[in-house]
Chain A
Amino acid sequence: MTVVNRGALAAVAAGAAALAVAAVVAVVSRPAGNVGTEQAAALASPTPSVTGPAVAVVPGALPGNAEPVRPVRLRIPSIGVTARVDPVGVDERTKEFDVPPSVDQIGWYRYGPGLETESGSVVIAGHVDSAEQGRGAFYRLRELAPGDTVTATGDDGTERTYRVVAREEYDKTKIPLERYFARDGRPRLTLITCGGPFDADARRYRDNIVVTASPV
């Protein structure tokens, strides 16, 4: 075998190896994809109100303090998550969800329903990662699949278990946030993080990953 021939074969081998690596990367980094989209939409559709013949009459008392049950801890065994939950609102300037800066903590939207709710979406969002702190609590959120369980512990000490019904990925410019922050429809738990292609210049992911879970 000539030296030239050996070089050619080496080139072929290197090319094959490069393509194999590229193929593996392509498979591993494929988008999470959507599952259970219809089920999630069905949960969000408004529950028909019961209208009786009687006119509701209530005392016109000043609105009191109806404190919701706030989640303090979230466990998702299938992706190894145990995280502290902080009550958060919106950023004063951007009006965006005020996700806790510490990536191992996650935030419950305190303006929406609490765990005791009989309607609407309890929203918890957390970082997938950060440039400074590395992987976040919701790094593996996109691996969740229908049937996985999520357990939220409330500040009333009660654990409530939810079962994943949907996992969806949306371009951030197209995500129907009003549906995931709805206060009507069936009671449900909505987990949100970032995902999809990463824009290294803007330091920003293109998409949001949204997991919807129903109370068990």
Chain B
Amino acid sequence: MQFAYLRRVAAGGAVAALTFVGAGIATATPAYAADSKVSVVHGIPDTPVDVYVNGEKTLENFEPGDVAGPLDLPEGQYDIALTKPGEPIGQAILTADDAEVPGGANISIAAHLDAEGQPTITPFVNDTAKVDAGKARLIVRHTAAAPAVDVRAGGSPVFEGLTNPNEAKGDVDAGNVSADVVLAGTDTVVIGPADLNLAEGTATIVYAIGSAEAENLSVVAQTIEGLHSAPSGVPSGTGGQAGTGLGTWWYALAGTGILLLVAGGARAAVVRSGRR
């Protein structure tokens, strides 16, 4: 039913980066550029699709709410097309041509509704900088047909006035947090509340998807691991009983010993020679 939404988007410069591919494409790009990690997020409700990359079917029957990848993709330009499952690429419902995948980045490409409810494709660059020990990164992306929203954690706003297709992020203490989404500046909950387990050293990316008008707002989440830092040190002793270095007393003892030996020996020698 919601195919009615889907309008053919002849995407040009509007779309930047794109996505998941087979090995055939890998050979087409320069070898020196670092690959990018590319994930694809499906945020268009009720609309399973096939995904074509450079004319090749890469994902079949990709379901709304699913996340594909990450794939290691060489830097380059990619053509992407979404079709109804089984339909030829010529009847794509959403396309993005010459999408740029930069080198060495971590990218999520979201197929979602814009603020007016039209399907679109938005690439996001994921912040994969290390987080401090004990911390987790929370990234929230507004990819729903809905007005500006606030994101609240434990009842108080953490991100305010977020609009489609933008993101807000922050590093927070790792652990559980109860979060919800309200219309900006109000207490009108539109999504949640939901319990989030923000694991230490990860980035949790939450996409608000769907349509307020169609009353099918929900979330899709993606997690990126491996962003942890080690503690800055392991302080585990203040007593000194296990110290292994030789203190100044040791040198004093050894020095005294040598002096006594030399002086005593010399004295004995003098006495002996005097007696002769």
A residues with a Cβ closer than 8 A to B are 2, 4-5, 7-19, 21-22, 25-26, 29-32, 51, 53, 55-66, 89-90, 92, 94-97, 99, 109, 111, 125-136, 138-139, 142, 172, 177-178, 180-181, 183-184, 192-198, 200, 203-206, 208
CB distance from A81 to the nearest CB of B (A): 14
Contact B230 A180 (CB under 8 A): yes
- B176 sits at the interface (CB 8 A): yes
Contact B231 A90 (CB under 8 A): yes
Chain A residues with Cβ under 8 A from B54's Cβ?
none
Contact A11 B197 (CB under 8 A): no
Chain A residues with Cβ under 8 A from B264's Cβ?
7-15
Known: A60-B207, A65-B197. A22 touches B250 (CB 8 A): yes
Chain B residues with Cβ under 8 A from A30's Cβ?
244
Known: A15-B258, A55-B58. A32 touches B244 (CB 8 A): yes
- B156 sits at the interface (CB 8 A): no
Contact A95 B271 (CB under 8 A): no
Chain B residues with Cβ under 8 A from A183's Cβ?
201, 225-226, 228
7 pairs, CB–CB < 8 Å, chain A vs chain B: A8-B271, A29-B245, A61-B221, A65-B197, A97-B235, A125-B236, A130-B237
Known: A18-B256, A18-B260, A198-B245. A59 touches B66 (CB 8 A): yes
Contact A193 B236 (CB under 8 A): yes
CB distance from A118 to the nearest CB of B (A): 14
CB distance from A110 to the nearest CB of B (A): 8
Contact B71 A55 (CB under 8 A): yes
Chain B residues with Cβ under 8 A from A126's Cβ?
236
Contact B235 A99 (CB under 8 A): yes
The answer, among B219, B232, B238, for a CB contact under 8 Å with A129, is B238
Q: Mark B162-206, 1 if CB is under 8 A from A, else 0.
A: 000000000000101000000000000000001111111110101
Chain B residues with Cβ under 8 A from A10's Cβ?
264
Contact A95 B267 (CB under 8 A): no
Q: Compute how far the CA of A71 lies from the CA of B253 in the bound complex, rounded to whole angstroms.
A: 46
Query: Considering only CB atoms, which chain A residue lies closest to B59 in the complex?
Result: A55
Known: A15-B257, A60-B222. A97 touches B234 (CB 8 A): yes
Contact A62 B22 (CB under 8 A): no
The answer, among B22, B62, B253, for a CB contact under 8 Å with A57, is B62
Main SS of the interface on chain A?
Answer: mixed
Contact B260 A15 (CB under 8 A): yes
Query: Apart from A19-B258, A95-B231, A204-B235, what are 5 other A-B pairs with CB-CB below 8 Å?
Result: A2-B271, A29-B246, A63-B197, A127-B237, A136-B237
The answer, among A21, A26, A128, A177, for a CB contact under 8 Å with B239, is A128
The answer, among B58, B132, B242, for a CB contact under 8 Å with A95, is B132
Q: Compute how far the CA of A166 lies from the CA of B259 in the bound complex, rounded to whole angstroms.
A: 42
Query: Considering only CB atoms, which chain B residue lies closest to A92 in the complex?
Result: B134
Q: Compute how far the CA of A99 lies from the CA of B69 in the bound complex, rounded to whole angstroms.
A: 38
Known: A63-B204, A97-B231, A198-B245. A129 touches B240 (CB 8 A): yes
Contact A53 B22 (CB under 8 A): yes
Chain B residues with Cβ under 8 A from A203's Cβ?
238, 240
Q: Compute how far the CA of A97 lies from the CA of B233 in the bound complex, rounded to whole angstroms.
A: 6
Contact A7 B198 (CB under 8 A): no
- B254 sits at the interface (CB 8 A): yes
CB distance from A166 to the nearest CB of B (A): 17
Contact A172 B240 (CB under 8 A): no
The answer, among B22, B65, B231, B235, for a CB contact under 8 Å with A194, is B235
Contact B237 A96 (CB under 8 A): no
The list of the 9 closest CB pairs from A to B, nearest first, reads: A197-B245, A11-B264, A15-B260, A18-B257, A198-B243, A129-B239, A194-B237, A60-B220, A15-B261
Q: Compute how far the CA of A209 lies from the CA of B267 in the bound complex, rounded to whole angstroms.
A: 48
Query: Considering only CB atoms, which chain B residue lies closest to A181 in the complex?
Result: B230
Chain A residues with Cβ under 8 A from B65's Cβ?
59-60
